[in-house]
Amino acid sequence: MGDFSAGALSIGKYAALGDHAKAMIAIGDTKAAGSLFSRVGELSGADISLVKTLLDENVPGYLSWAAALFKMFI
């Protein structure tokens, strides 16, 4: 849990990546609940571009380092 989250059960404020993910941007293997973007399974190239754009537009500047790390995992 936190601003960004990764793991089996991921709950984040901005982005979550894992088996069950919940955040503004949620990417899950089994379940995903996101207010801006949610996807279950693999991301396409277009999905990756959209997620990166959404991160840039919605994550505050002081967390840009965390957004950059999250982008490496997708």
pLDDT at 60 over 90: yes
Distance CA 17, CA 34 (A): 11
Instruction: Show the beta-strand stretches assigned E in the chain.
Output: 2-40
Task: Kindly indicate the confidence band of residue 1, based on its pLDDT and cuts at 50, 70 and 90.
Answer: confident
Residue 17 near residue 70 (C-beta atoms within 8 A): yes
Residue 15 near residue 24 (C-beta atoms within 8 A): yes
Amino acid at 28: G
pTM of the predicted structure, to 2 decimals: 0.90
* Per-residue model confidence as pLDDT tens digits over 16-57: 999 999 999 999 999 999 999 999 999 999 999 999 999 999
Task: Kindly indicate the confidence band of residue 67, based on its pLDDT and cuts at 50, 70 and 90.
Answer: very high
* Per-residue model confidence as pLDDT tens digits over 46-55: 999 999 999 9
Bridge partners for 11 per DSSP: 22
